[in-house]
Structure 1
Amino acid sequence: MLNLRAPARPLTWLLALVGTGMFLLLLAASWLMRDQIYQTFLDPGVPFQTYEPPPAPDYAQGESWAVRPMLAAMDEDEPAVFFVHPTLHTGGDHWNASLDRRSHRERLERFYLPNYAGPFAETGAVFAPRYRHAALYAYMNNREDSLQARLLAYEDVRAAFTQFLADAGDERPIILAGAGQGAGHVTGLLLDIVSRDEDLVARLVAAYIIEAPVAADLFDGPLQNIPLCGAPDAFRCVVTYSAVRADEAARIDAITERSSLWVDRGRLGQTPGLELACVNPLLWNTSEDYAPARLHRGGAAAEGLELGERPSPLASQTGAQCQNGLLFVDQPRSRTLQRPSRLAEARRVPPFNLFYADLEADVTRRAALLAETLAEERRWAPELPEAEEIGSVPVRPID
């Protein structure tokens, strides 16, 4: 008897192999395009012009702050630190985060305050506003909607800074610090407020702009009175760096080719074609010299610590070198200081601070130098006003 079904077996195997190959190709494509697919899911899906943002914070009220210390009982020479946190909200429902999101508060208090505000807490009293920060999605593209979301976040930060200055008073030294999105907003504050006010510049220990690109030509223009910190003994200056490894092609591309940054007062521009600024946090200068790991004071992966509770930094974990406006670092030996594998990691601030102890020592040193300078400046006699010519005055007899 003839077996009429036998020829179907090779065809079945062929179809199975083709199907398996197509599935593997689709899987590989999905892996390669994972950030783009993730970005699609994060799109709020509504134009910013018709978007109703969450209620604006009132910075006269304590609930609008993650940290707001009382300065009345503190020495008036102790610096006040204005710290702006990085992106916590990914997107998908809002362009900008609401202030009452529990998951955001938990991550801020568990990871980002201990790691990025912590290095400054030993030197000064830290203020950290909650703000309607722009979603991660708004930093994954340069759409007009995304830029508008960032500007809304900046307006909150600017309002918080105004309240911070009122709380700090007219004499106290100040420190500005931010990470990721927060660092970009600190650049805006330097441009719009600090650089325009001689008194604020005089009281500025330094501004720390961490993990956000800064246009180098700003320091020849609107920020020429607040230069880059070109030496360890400088103050009234700016420290900035964006750390990358040489093998992180996606992160390098995201920073240098696909980012927006302040290019002037009130104006955001694109990074392509711009020279970026970099201060090496191991050498504390702007040179392109390589700093070996033996100079590394220590990184920290702090978790759940209160401000003022110091973690145990891990020293000699990485070398560092400024090149083309980026800070190239070595892969740390400790896994706790290695970037996690997360979607859109190229746009995120890691949940550890690779230069925790380095920043801690640096801000302490610069604050002491400014304190000495201010004390000396206060001893100087004020300049006499220019002499005025007085014409003849008629003399009238007294009766």
Structure 2
Amino acid sequence: MPKLRAPARPLTLLLVIAGVGLILLLLAASWLMRDQIYQTLLDPGVPFQTYEPPAAPDYAEADSWAVRPVVAALEEDEPAVFFVHPTLHTGGEHWNAALDRRSHRERLARLYLPNYAGPFAETGAVFAPRYRHAALYAYMNNREDSLQARLLAYDDVRTAFAQFLADIGDERPIILAGAGQGGGHVTGLLLDVISRDEDLIARLVAAYIVEAPVAADLFDGPLQDIPLCSAPEAIRCVITYSAVRSDEPARIEAITERSTLWIDRGRLGQTLGRELACVSPLLWNTSEDYAPARLHRGGAAAEGLELGERPSPLASQTGAQCQNGLLFVDQPRSRTLRRPSRLAEIRRVPPFNLFYADLEADVTRRAAILAETLAEERRWAPELPEAEEIESVPVRPID
């Protein structure tokens, strides 16, 4: 007679069930805390005070620029665009990116120049410096080390801007544009350089700060002479917005409560409790009116295009409304204009430009208005008197 198999012990079964449950619980916790875990992995693990940053760029050299046109080949009154790219370096070993990182150069040329510098290339000549930009990790927290990494990146951008101004001369109109981290650095340039120079303000078509928070009270203080663009015809002003959807609470919180921005010349502060600025890229004013999708000229997911090669924007994809300093947008109908599922996506600039054609048309219009304004101002400027020759007269002592 065959032996009967003994029944499984209840204790063993309970241990198996508990083990499986623990594994599932750990997997669920890992999924829920994936951004926090990713942030920990990106920590350079060395204090910035003892960190040796990559070699500084020399902006007299061509290799320190992603794009640097030959000024002598430009038309006389063609605007010059100073574009500052978003974050490419995630972190891990360095607080700041080295300029020779091949993957960064490829991604910049393949995605971010076509999408975020592209809208301005039809209007002006784009200059885009490479710089030791701060790691994504430095934008995921507000540690002192992270702030120092951002300031180092800004110092590079300010040095590049000085070279840009020297290259283009004293009369050419200028356009500033920056996305993500680059937008923050453009804000710094407005505070430290443009707002202190009446001639630069006069030559400014507009500054475009995309996907970077800007403190609204700056425009009652150091930026009072470079206001927010309040109408489509305004010039010498600022366009800024950070796009969110109402079903993205983590991104909304990250921008409004856990981000850092310029609060004065030379001072960074927290967004928590601070009013943010927003200009609608569909209405081109600061109102909180809703702009329907029929006003949307088109977004683009450009990839691998040279500057000057225009993508085919998809129109009527989203409505938009400025509220509480954020630009609330509708979910685009095309999946190519929806944020990808990536770790720390709430802190990233997407690999597409939701308002590509809108920005393109806007900067073209404002550049034409500035050209007319400058011509009129020069026409009515008082003429300088003719120089008089002064003969040198010997000085005789009085007896």
Q: In which range does the TM-score fall when normalised by the shorter chain?
A: over 0.9
Work out the CA distance in 2 between the residues paired with 1:29 and 1:6.
37
Aligned partners of 1:67 and 1:74: how far apart in 2? 14
Distance in 2 separating the partners of 1:288 and 1:361: 22
Could you tell me how far apart the structure 2 residues matched to 1:177 and 1:381 are? 30
Map of 1:181-330 to 2, 5 A cutoff?
181-330=181-330
What are the superposed Cα offsets for residues 210-240 of structure 1, whole Å, 9 maximum, x if unpaired?
Answer: 0000000000000000000010000000000
Name the CA distance, whole Å, in 2 between partners of 1:4 and 1:328: 69
Contact kept, 8 Å, 1:42 with 1:90, in 2: the verdict is yes
Q: Deviations over 1:132-164 (max 9, x none)?
A: 000000000000000000000000000000000
Q: State yes or no: 1:92 paired with 2:116.
A: no
Tell me, yes or no, if the aligned pair for 1:296 and 1:315 is still in contact at 8 Å: yes
Ranges in structure 1 where 5+ consecutive residues have no aligned partner: 386-399
1:40-189 correspondence runs (5 A):
40-189=40-189
Letter of the 2:290 counterpart: Y
Q: Distance in 2 between matches of 1:118 and 1:322?
A: 24
Aligned equivalent of 1:389 = none
How far the C-alpha of 1:21 sits from its partner, in A, is 1.0
Number of the residue aligned with 2:353:
353
Match in the other structure for 2:333: 333
Q: TM-score, normalised by structure 2?
A: 0.94
Q: What amino acid is the match of 1:222?
A: P
Counterparts of 1:73 and 1:336 in 2: how far apart (Å)? Answer: 36
* Residues 234 and 366, structure 1, Cα contact 8 Å, conserved in 2: yes
Q: Report sequence identity in percent.
A: 88
Query: Where does residue 29 of structure 2 map in the other structure?
Result: 29
Shift of 1:11: 2.0
Shift of 1:258: 0.4
Q: CA deviation at 1:8?
A: 4.6
Describe the SS at the equivalent of 1:239: strand
Kept in 2, the 8 Å contact 1:76–1:171? The answer is no
Matched residue of 2:252: which SS?
helix
3-state SS of paired residue (2:106):
helix
Q: CA–CA distance in 2 between the matches of 1:343 and 1:34?
A: 7
Aligned to 1:372: 372
In structure 1, C-alpha distance between the alignment counterparts of 2:69 and 2:126, rounded to whole Å: 7
- Distance in 1 separating the partners of 2:120 and 2:143: 35
Aligned to 2:395: none
Three-state SS of the structure 1 residue aligned to 2:368 is helix
Q: CA deviation at 1:294?
A: 0.3
The whole-number CA distance in structure 2 between the counterparts of 1:200 and 1:383 is: 21
What are the ranges of 5 or more consecutive residues in structure 2 without an aligned counterpart?
386-399
Opposite residue 42 of structure 1, the aligned amino acid is: L
Distance 1:97 1:381 in 2: 47
TM-score normalised over the length of structure 1? 0.94
Give 3-state SS (helix, strand or coil) of 1:303's partner: coil
Report the residue type matching 2:375 in the other structure: A
3-state SS of 1:72 partner: helix
Deviation at 1:71, TM superposition (A): 1.5
The Cα shift of 1:20 comes to 1.1
The 1-side partners of 2:282 and 2:23 are apart by 48
Q: Describe the shift of the 1:142–1:4 C-alpha distance in structure 2 as closer, same or farther (beyond 3 A).
A: farther
1:380 shift after superposition: 1.0
Question: 1: distance between equivalents of 2:188 and 2:233?
Answer: 25
How far 1:381 sits from its partner (Å)?
A: 3.4
1:264-314 per-position Cα deviation (integer Å, ceiling 9, x unaligned) = 000000000100000000000000000000000000000000000000000
The aligned residue for residue 393 of structure 2 is none
Which amino acid in the other structure matches residue 356 of structure 1?
Answer: Y
Look up the match of 1:344. Answer: 344
Decide whether the 8 Å contact of 1:111 with 1:351 is kept in 2: yes
Q: Tell me the number of residue pairs that the alignment of Structure 1 and Structure 2 aligns.
A: 384
Q: 3-state SS of the aligned residue for 2:206?
A: strand
Name the counterpart of 1:11: 11
State the 1:5 CA deviation: 8.5
Query: Deviations 1:143-198 (Å, cap 9, x if unpaired)?
Result: 00000000000000000000000111000000000000000000000000000000
TM-superposed deviation, 1:6: 3.9
For the aligned residues, what is the CA RMSD? 1.4
The alpha carbon displacement at 1:207 in A equals 0.1
Structure-2 residue corresponding to 1:392: none
Partner Cα distance (1:164, 1:382) in 2: 30
